[in-house]
Amino acid sequence: MSSAINRVCFVALVILLCSCRFILADFFQGCENRENTYIASDKSCTSYIYCFGDESFEGDCDDDTPYFSETDQTCDTDPAVCKDFNQDGEPNAPEENPVSSSAAPSSTLASTVSSVRPSNSTISTFASTSPTTLSTTLSSTFFTTPSSTPSTTPSTTKTSSTQTTTTTSATVVNSCPSDDDPSNIVFLQDSKACSDYYMCYHGQPLPMHCSPTLHFDINTSKCDYPQNVKCQLDNGSPRDKCQAHTVDVYPHPLNCNYYYMCKFGYLMVMQCPPNMGWDYTVNACVLRSKAKCYTNLEESKK
C-alpha cells in the first residue's frame, strides 16, 4: 500500500516539475529544431533570439553594430543583412487594401501593475525598456520610476486654501533616526541589492524596491536607470540578490561572455552573441573589444 502511495506521489511530483518548467520557459516558434543557434527576431532587425531549449531568450544588438545577421550569427553594421526590414531595422509595412466599410475601433488593454511574486502565468521575455511613471504608495511593494530628466531638487506641494508652500527633502544615512521629520524623509541603501532600499518610518527601516530594471541612487534618493546610478555592490551573490520582486541583470564573475538574469526570483545564466561580451557599466552585450568586463574589475582589486 505504501509503495503504491509513493509511486502516486512521485508521478505527481514529476507532473508538477514539468508544469513549472513549462511556465518558466519563453517559447519561440522559430527555435524548433534549431538548438544552440541564434535566429532573427520577427519584430526588428536589431533583435535576435538565442535558441537553447527552455532557456531561450530574445536580445538586442548594441548601437555600434545594430543589425543582426542570421547568416553570420553575429551583429553587423551593414543594414543590408536585413531582409524583410527597412533601413531603420523595423519590419516593412504590408500593403494596405481598401475596405468598403469602416473598421470598428480596437480595444486597448490598459497597463496594470501586477503582483511582485511569481504567478502561474508565463514570464515574458526580459527587455530594457523605458519605464512609465507610476504613482508611489507607502507599502512594502513601493515602486518609483525616474522622470525623463531626473531632478535633484526637493518636491514642492501647494495647498489651494492658503497658497502656502511646503518643501520636502530626502536624506540617506546609515541608520534610522528615532523621531520622524515630515519635511525630511530618510532613506537607507540596501547593502546587497542595487534595486532595493529602505525608508525610515517611526525609527524603523521599511523595505522598498524600485520598479523592474531600475536602481536606487543614494545621491538623489530616487530610482534611476542603471547606467546613471552605476551601482557596484560586492556583497552577496547573484542568487542572494535575486528576490521575488526583482527584475535585474548581474555580471558573471568568471566569464565576460555570460551574465545572470533575474526574473521575479528566478535566476538564469545567459550568454551574449558571438564576438560580444557583457559590459557591466551599461548592462548590455557589446563588442568584445569594447566591453568593460567585470572579470577585469575583479582582477584589478587583487
Q: Which CATH number goes with the domain that contains 260?
A: 2.170.140.10
Is residue 176 over pLDDT 70? Answer: yes
Cell of 63: 548601437
Q: Which of 105, 84, 86, 101 is nearest to 42 (CA)?
A: 84
Q: What is the pLDDT of residues 85-104, one digit of tens each?
A: 665 555 555 555 544 433 44
Q: Are residues 193 and 225 in the same domain?
A: yes
Domain membership of residue 55 (yes or no) is: yes
More reliable by pLDDT, 290 or 180: 290
Q: Which three cell numbers stand for residue 173?
A: 544615512
Residues 224 and 255 in one domain: no
CA distances (Å), origin 158, targets 163, 164, 165, 180: 6, 6, 5, 21
Averaged pLDDT, 119-127: 33
The pLDDT of 98-124, averaged and rounded, is 35
**Count of the separate structural domains present in the chain:** 3
Between 106 and 62, the more confident residue is 62
* Boundary of a domain, candidates 43, 70, 86: 86
pLDDT recorded at residue 257: 93
The pLDDT of residue 260 is above 90: yes
As a whole number of angstroms, the distance between CA 57 and CA 25 comes to 9
Same domain, 248 and 295: yes
For residues 104 and 290, which has the higher predicted lDDT (pLDDT)?
Answer: 290
State which of 237, 271, 286 marks the end of a domain. Answer: 237
Same domain, 254 and 226: no
Of the CA atoms within 13 Å of residue 269, those in its CB half-sphere come to 7
Residue 93: what pLDDT? 54
Give the domain range for residue 50: 26-86
Domain assignment of residue 10, yes or no: no
Task: Report the alpha-carbon distance of residue 273 to residue 168 in Å, rounded.
Answer: 47
The position carrying cell 531549449 is: 53
Which pLDDT does position 108 carry in this prediction?
A: 34
Q: Are residues 58 and 34 in the same domain?
A: yes
**Could you tell me if residue 183 is inside a domain?**
yes
pLDDT at site 197:
92
